[in-house]
Amino acid sequence: MPRPSTEAEYLASLVPPSARGFSRRALLRGAVGAGSLLAVPSLLAACGSGDATSSSGASGAATSGATGTVSLGSNGSDAAPKAALQSVIDSFQKANSGLSVKINTIDHNTFQENINNYLQGSPDDVFTWFSGYRMRFFAAQGLAGDISDVWQGKSNMSDALKAASTGDDGKQYFMPSTNYPWAVFYRKSLWSSKGYEVPKTLDDLKTLGAQMKKDGLDPIAFGDKDGWPAMGTFDQLNMRINSYDYHVSLMAGKEDWSGDKVKAVFNTWRDILPLHQSDSLGRTWQEAAQSLQQKKSGMYVLGAFVAQQFSKGAEQDDLDFFTFPEVDSNIGTDAIEAPIDGFMMAASPKNEAGAKKLLSYFGSADAQNISVKADPSVIATASDADQSGYTALQKKSVEFVKSAKHISQFMDRDTRPDFASTVMIPAIQSFLKTPTDVDNLVKSIQQQKLSIFTS
């Protein structure tokens, strides 16, 4: 057993193993029992929180003295994620009677837009966030708490997930909860009635698109009113045309945006743009997804959250997907995009022990089982999560993510947020408006990239 970091742990270690039992929960009971025996519970609570210099090891021991209230900032303001989080928290509180969690739900967009002020003000102990550059950026600015000790002994997360949760300094700052792949989605019933087959290459896709047009369908549903959904198409094309490694280094600002490789991406995109639903800039992704749902469009390049626009049950079962087709046979299709959502801890939480305990729980199969059941468009990241209740779509997502060789996050999670939102959104939108002027477009992106990345 590692050196106890709190008085509660120390007291717990005094209880002989025979009385302590073997399970972690029993150990916690032991701690509480020992505490009440000495009649200093409030003192224990005080010690358990605010212990910033905790150097303890195993996750269970690090948080065994947790009591009091943990505040949780959530951007899940829509009804479904809100209810899902509430049920996760309910089960957490049931298992940890000493801890209560106060959920502070903030409107999704407001949360995203105010994240800087939020984290610099008085953030909640734990908050919802995303992996990738977006996570590393806040960790590097000292706005996120180190949760490496929670990660220690976590056996249900793959190394890839651990890497995705690691900041620039090699410490972990993020606890994955769920993820979802990006792919090309379609309705099985429509495809089988028309006799369509999954396209393996870009040429197949073009042939299929032409056929769909003949059948009176928009081949690819498309909506980019919000600015970000089209980034997904760029990512897919870039990974297919220029490989995953190039994509990562392009996103890191290390490549020339005005070079031939980026031009090739835009030019290929232009070739297949006529297959996309027109007037994309006036349509939200939800509206585009509804055209897929109504069988007016043949397919849709989007994240698995597209399923949210399909009613649960038969309609979601009718939804299927395939990976974005191959463009270059030397590169293949083994790189996919699968953003990870999860939780982080504030830099100086009011209740550190409680926060870590909650984070540890979020990373457990128990918590993730509840989340994925409430929202079947996402899958659990924990390897020991219960997959027996998964929908067909979720099962396929699991296989899809597992078999991928490279997983990217998404343009606005993989590159600097200021570059993604102030340069790439207008740039991609102007490409969609006038797809012919690629040379000037990439030149403009490169100039702005230099200005942003070098300053």
Check: CB of residue 342 under 8 Å from CB of residue 38: no
- Please, which residue, 113 or 245, has the CB nearer to another protein? 113
- Please, which residue, 134 or 240, has the CB nearer to another protein? 134
From the CB of 75, what's the least distance to another protein, in Å?
Answer: 12
- The answer to the question of residue 425 lying near another protein (CB under 8 A) is yes
Select the residue interacting with another protein from 245, 271, 399, 418 (CB under 8 A).
Answer: 418
Q: Distance between alpha carbon 7 and the CA centroid of its chain, in Å? A: 36
SS3 82: helix
SS3 62: helix
Which residues, in sequence order, are bridge partners of residue 103? 72
From the CB of 218, what's the least distance to another protein, in Å?
Answer: 11
Contacts of residue 34, Cβ cutoff 8 Å, sequence gap at least 6: 8, 11, 12, 14, 15
C-alpha to C-alpha distance for 443 and 272, rounded to whole angstroms: 22
- Amino acid identity of residue 128, one-letter, is T
From the CB of 432, what's the least distance to another protein, in Å?
Answer: 9
Q: Report the site for another protein in 349-388 (rule: CB under 8 A).
A: none
From the CB of 162, what's the least distance to another protein, in Å?
Answer: 24
- The answer to the question of residue 436 lying near another protein (CB under 8 A) is no
Check: CB of residue 219 under 8 Å from CB of residue 297: yes
Which range, of 151-159, 188-196, 213-221, 417-425, touches another protein by CB under 8 A? 417-425
Contacts of residue 102, Cβ cutoff 8 Å, sequence gap at least 6: 69, 70, 71, 72
From the CB of 57, what's the least distance to another protein, in Å?
Answer: 31
Check: CB of residue 361 under 8 Å from CB of residue 65: no
Select the residue interacting with another protein from 136, 187, 283, 356 (CB under 8 A).
Answer: 283
Which range, of 64-72, 181-189, 347-355, 421-429, touches another protein by CB under 8 A? 421-429
- The answer to the question of residue 451 lying near another protein (CB under 8 A) is yes
C-alpha to C-alpha distance for 316 and 307, rounded to whole angstroms: 6
- The answer to the question of residue 348 lying near another protein (CB under 8 A) is no
From the CB of 294, what's the least distance to another protein, in Å?
Answer: 10
Select the residue interacting with another protein from 36, 55, 193, 447 (CB under 8 A).
Answer: 447
- The answer to the question of residue 141 lying near another protein (CB under 8 A) is yes
- The answer to the question of residue 87 lying near another protein (CB under 8 A) is no
C-alpha to C-alpha distance for 133 and 127, rounded to whole angstroms: 17
From the CB of 380, what's the least distance to another protein, in Å?
Answer: 27
Angle, in degrees to the nearest 10, between helices 229-242 and 260-272: 120
From the CB of 149, what's the least distance to another protein, in Å?
Answer: 25
- Please, which residue, 152 or 444, has the CB nearer to another protein? 444
- The answer to the question of residue 26 lying near another protein (CB under 8 A) is no
- Please, which residue, 238 or 448, has the CB nearer to another protein? 448
- Please, which residue, 228 or 305, has the CB nearer to another protein? 228
Q: Report the site for another protein in 120-139 (rule: CB under 8 A).
A: 120, 134, 137
Check: CB of residue 132 under 8 Å from CB of residue 231: no
Round the CA-based radius of gyration of the chain to a whole number and report it: 24
Q: Report the site for another protein in 262-281 (rule: CB under 8 A).
A: 279-281
Which residues, in sequence order, are bridge partners of residue 184? 301, 322
- The answer to the question of residue 225 lying near another protein (CB under 8 A) is yes
In terms of residues, how long is the chain?
A: 455
From the CB of 121, what's the least distance to another protein, in Å?
Answer: 12
C-alpha to C-alpha distance for 290 and 301, rounded to whole angstroms: 13
SS3 389: coil
Q: Token digits for 186?
A: 């379609």
- The answer to the question of residue 455 lying near another protein (CB under 8 A) is yes
What letter would DSSP give residue 39? T
Closest CA to 149 of 356, 294, 305: 356
- Please, which residue, 23 or 284, has the CB nearer to another protein? 284
- Amino acid identity of residue 26, one-letter, is A
Select the residue interacting with another protein from 158, 211, 268, 430 (CB under 8 A).
Answer: 430
- The answer to the question of residue 116 lying near another protein (CB under 8 A) is yes
- The answer to the question of residue 230 lying near another protein (CB under 8 A) is no
C-alpha to C-alpha distance for 298 and 187, rounded to whole angstroms: 8
Check: CB of residue 240 under 8 Å from CB of residue 437: no
Q: How many residues bind to another protein according to rule CB under 8 A?
A: 37
Q: Token digits for 211?
A: 């056929």
Q: Which parts of this chain interact with another protein (CB under 8 A)?
A: 112-116, 120, 134, 137, 141, 143, 225-227, 279-283, 287, 291, 417-418, 420-422, 425-427, 429-430, 433, 444, 447-448, 451-452, 455
